[in-house]
Amino acid sequence: MIKAAATLPNVTIHDLYETYPDFHIDIAAEQAQLAAADLVVFQHPIQWYSMPALLKEWVDTVLEDGWAFGKGGTALRDKSYWLVVTTGSPVDAYATTGMHHLPFDAFLPQFQQTASLCGMRWQTPLVIHNAHQLSQQDVAAHARHYVELLSRWPGSLAADFSQTT
């Protein structure tokens, strides 16, 4: 999906693990990239109902009080926050009768609150379930859908972002 998104003009791909294998994050550089963006896409696998470790470190250090939130913290205000994630479980595992005992949306409050605290507009997440079991054709179809949504931004309606698999 990343490779497909990278083909679009005005899309910047920023791989944290490639950029910061040592976890030493350049806060000023990260804030400059965020300041230049209108849509910030957080694309990652869901790991233990949350984000990968480096992304958590990034959130903790880059989204500073006084810059991203709090007194004078308006740098991200009115930008859009779009969560694009994969899970290892099938969609039916996210139900009261499923393995996780809750719908997937029950695991989103920390992401939604981050967006809210920073004054960002929450976009309905794009969730791809059962990622480890998808065929190459399914992966390609998801990548095409993702690129279609990105290519129509900002004209896409929020409802367009609601497809989950």
List the catalytic residue out of 14, 44, 73, 100: 100
94 catalytically annotated? yes
Options 81, 94, 129, 146, the catalytic residue: 94
Q: Report the residue count for the chain.
A: 165
**88 is annotated as an active-site residue:** yes
Separation CA 140–CA 83 (nearest Å): 19
Residue 100 catalytic? yes
- Residue 85's alpha-carbon distances to 6, 41, 51, 101, in angstroms, are 17, 10, 9, 19
Q: Which of 49, 66, 88, 101 is catalytic?
A: 88
Separation in Å, CA 114 to CA 6, 35, 45, 101 = 26, 16, 18, 24
In angstroms, the CA 13 to CA 59 distance is 17
Task: Find where tokens 């309905």 sit.
Answer: 124
Which residues are marked as active site? Answer: 88, 94, 100
